[in-house]
Amino acid sequence: MRRDRLIIHSIQLALFASVFGAWYVATNSGVRSLLLPPPELVWREMQVLWSSGRLWSSAVVTLNEIWQAYSIAVIAVLRHRAGIEGRLRRHAMLLSNRPQHDCGLRQRR
């Protein structure tokens, strides 16, 4: 049991380190800071927000924006899916109402 926990924590640490390392390498290889700010800049800004007491209000604004974007995406997917299902239902009704042709496959007597 203890060994399993050690393995899990090692994997978590490795994942965190690789994500942070990829972030650092990406920002130093020419990615625009508007798209992906460097970790040092993010750390400095978080320190400024923490010392001014605005960190939690900024976090609430960010979480609210994420929630709104997620809600818009879910609504768009559901509307798109409803549209597809509606078209499929209409096509199925049209096909079921068509007269059936045997294409000359009836046995002749």
Whether 47 and 2 map to the same domain: the answer is yes
12: tokens are 């978590």
Instruction: Return phi, psi of residue 30, to 5°.
Output: 110, 5
In a domain, residue 49? The reply is yes
Whether 9 and 41 map to the same domain: the answer is yes
**pLDDT (tens digit per residue) in 38-47:** 999 999 999 9
Question: How many structural domains are present in the chain?
Answer: 2
Among residues 6, 38, 11, 40, which one has the least CA distance to residue 25? Answer: 38
Whether 23 and 63 map to the same domain: the answer is no
Cβ–Cβ < 8 Å for 35, 26 = no
87 — pLDDT class (breaks 50, 70, 90) = confident
Which tops the pLDDT comparison, 38 or 86? Answer: 38
Whether 63 and 89 map to the same domain: the answer is yes
Least confident of 31-35, 92-96, 105-109: 105-109
Whether 46 and 87 map to the same domain: the answer is no
pTM of the model: 0.54
Residue 18 sits in which domain range? Answer: 1-53
In a domain, residue 107? The reply is no
Whether 10 and 42 map to the same domain: the answer is yes
Whether 76 and 86 map to the same domain: the answer is yes
Task: Tell me the average pLDDT across 72-88.
Answer: 84
In this predicted structure, the answer to whether residue 100 has a pLDDT above a threshold of 70 is no
Task: Tell me the average pLDDT across 17-43.
Answer: 92
Whether 71 and 43 map to the same domain: the answer is no
Whether 2 and 40 map to the same domain: the answer is yes
Sign of CA dihedral 87, 93, 97, 102: positive
Residue 75 and residue 47: Cα distance in Å, rounded?
36
